[in-house]
Structure 1
């Protein structure tokens, strides 16, 4: 993996984690936490969305939307587990 890919991964993860924190109120993790949430969200979305028949295409915007959807799923699951 080249340095450009790592930078892209970090930027997409940070933006997606920040957006997911705004969508699912009550979650703010700071820069490093947002990057981790965004990357984990992208992993979750890469498993869930194709099974639902959803494809978003390629590019920066679709990567951010993809990772944000996965991060929202992750934060919603964390909220359910935290309440139980």
Structure 2
């Protein structure tokens, strides 16, 4: 559980850097990153795609999921 929180926090922080102009702040980006990590693993599992194993694969998957979540939340923010 702690591993998932740490990976999600890193993914959220990186996604916040990638999605400039989001305006959510680092704490909210980290929380969305934790959610995005779950979404990313679900998306890749549903598509039967594997980025790789280990920490790097989990971070990449989490970042992609966090970007998706940040994008969707950004649509509602407007």
Same fold flag (TM > 0.5): yes
Query: Separation in 2 of the partners of 1:75 and 1:53?
Result: 23
Counterpart position of 1:29: 25
The count of residues paired between Structure 1 and Structure 2 equals 77
Q: TM-score, normalised by structure 1?
A: 0.75
Can you give the 5+ residue segments of structure 2 that lack an aligned partner in the other structure? none
User: What residue is the counterpart of 1:55 in the other structure?
Assistant: 50
Q: TM-score, normalised by structure 2?
A: 0.80
CA RMSD of aligned residues (A): 1.8
| Structure of higher CA gyration radius | 1
Deviation at 1:25, TM superposition (A): 0.9
Which structure 1 segments of 5+ residues have no match? none
Higher relative CO (Cα under 8 Å, sequence separation at least 6) belongs to 2
The runs of at least 4 aligned residues of structure 1 exceeding 3 Å deviation read none
